[in-house]
């Protein structure tokens, strides 16, 4: 049963939500609060952390693994380890190659795969592979999925992968088909039985991955199904980074759903006794808030006042006041 509308937090309501931002701005806290709010509104909700820091478990004060665990009524949570996913992905690639490559070449092929494991982009690629599987495997079991992402730079690389990887995998598929066709031609000339190219395990794996990436891209770029929520604090560097990130997501057609301004000093009504340091800090924040509305005001801007204690645990997270200024 859904709660009264007045008690709902004003986060975007989409089947898929991403929370991101510069490290230390409170994106994990906001993602957890949003997931608990969605669950309280009657949605079966899954909170997924892809942040290597794994602070989701700390915020919820529970132990989490890479499988969903119930953390509150209607809410489950899990943490995905990017490095472990990269290792799993490499093992899966080796398994496929073993059935397709000549035994005399396996040693060199494995060496090249191990080199690829430590190359730039390998972790993001493996992480996105797991992300697409979560969307497909868990999407049937949950009404809402909330992703607590890594700091902005890694997240932007992750979300740009579908477009880049689809093109790259398409090239691999063409080359694999060309090699397979030449092999079939040679076997026909030699009078030996030709292998069925459509049964090529590497070709099937490449095509299956391409199709999953394409499906994921359709979800990421559909404003009715997904939205990215940026969490920022009223300081110069986080604001600048968020402005750049919004611009990057727009280029990849990933919809932005809201800007959450966290750790805002509460308004004081003409208190002449206020500490000069706090007064100066409040004045500086007012300037940064004005810039946020100027540069990012095309999207809903939400505000969270600075709390007098860290909101950890389900009960505290449910009490976080998120409002539209």
CATH number, position 239: 3.40.50.300
Residue 226 in domain? yes
pTM summary value? 0.80
Residue 90 in domain? no
Q: How many domains does the chain have?
A: 1
Residue 108 in domain? no
In three state form, how does the secondary structure of the chain look? CCCCHHHCCCCCCCCEEEEECCCCCCHHHHHHHHHHHHHHCCCCEEEEECCCCCCHHHHHCCCCCCCCEEEECCEEEEECCHHHHHHHHHHHHHHHHHCCCCHHHHHHHHHHHHHHHCCCCHHHHHHHHHHHHHHHHCCCCCCEEEEECCCHHHHHHHHHHHHHHHHHHHHHHHHHHHHHHHHHHHHHHHCCCCCCHHHCHHHHHHHHHHHHHHHHHHHHCCCCCEEEEEEECCCHHHHHHHHHHHHHHHHCCCCEEEEEEEEECCCCCCCCCCCHHHHHHHHHHHHHHHHHHHHHCCCCEEEEECCCCCCCCHHHHHCCCEECC
Task: Look up the domain containing 167 and give its range.
Answer: 9-84+124-323
Residue 294 in domain? yes
Residue 205 in domain? yes
Residue by residue, pLDDT tens for the chain (325 residues) are: 344 445 688 999 999 999 998 888 999 999 999 999 999 999 999 999 987 777 899 999 999 998 999 999 999 999 988 778 777 777 777 776 666 666 766 676 667 666 655 665 667 777 777 888 888 887 789 999 999 987 666 666 666 665 555 555 555 556 555 655 544 554 544 444 444 445 556 666 667 777 777 788 888 889 999 999 999 999 999 999 999 989 988 888 889 999 999 999 987 665 566 788 888 898 999 999 999 999 999 999 999 999 888 899 999 999 999 998 7
């Amino acid at each position: 049963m859904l709660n009264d509308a007045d008690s709902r937090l004003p986060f975007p309501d989409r089947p898929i939500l991403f929370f991101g931002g510069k490290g230390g701005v409170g994106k994990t806290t906001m993602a957890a609060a949003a997931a608990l709010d969605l669950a309280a509104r009657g949605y079966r909700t899954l909170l997924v952390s892809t942040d290597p820091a794994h602070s989701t478990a700390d915020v919820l004060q529970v132990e989490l693994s890479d499988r969903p665990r119930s953390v509150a009524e209607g809410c489950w949570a899990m943490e995905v380890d990017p490095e472990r996913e990269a290792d799993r992905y490499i093992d899966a690639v080796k398994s496929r190659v073993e059935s397709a490559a000549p035994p005399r070449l396996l040693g060199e092929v494995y060496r090249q795969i191990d080199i690829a494991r430590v190359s730039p982009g390998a972790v993001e690629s493996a992480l996105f592979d797991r992300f697409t599987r979560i969307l497909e495997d868990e999407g049937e079991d949950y009404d809402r999925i909330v992703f607590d992402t890594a700091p902005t730079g890694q997240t932007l690389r992750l979300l740009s992968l579908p477009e880049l990887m689809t093109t790259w995998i398409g090239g691999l598929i063409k080359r694999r088909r060309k090699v397979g066709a030449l092999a079939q031609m040679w076997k026909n000339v030699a009078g030996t039985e030709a292998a069925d190219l459509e049964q090529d395990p590497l070709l099937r794996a490449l095509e299956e991955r391409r199709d999953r990436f394409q499906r994921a891209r359709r979800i990421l770029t559909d404003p009715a199904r997904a939205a990215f929520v940026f969490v920022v604090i009223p300081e110069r560097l986080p604001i600048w980074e968020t402005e750049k990130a919004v611009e990057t997501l727009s280029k990849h057609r990933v919809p932005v759903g809201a800007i959450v301004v966290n750790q805002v000093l509460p308004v004081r009504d003409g208190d002449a006794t206020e500490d000069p340091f706090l007064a100066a800090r409040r004045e500086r924040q007012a300037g940064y808030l004005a810039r946020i509305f100027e540069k990012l005001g095309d999207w809903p801007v939400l505000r969270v006042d600075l709390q007098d204690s860290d909101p950890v645990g389900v009960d505290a997270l449910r009490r976080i006041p998120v409002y539209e200024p």
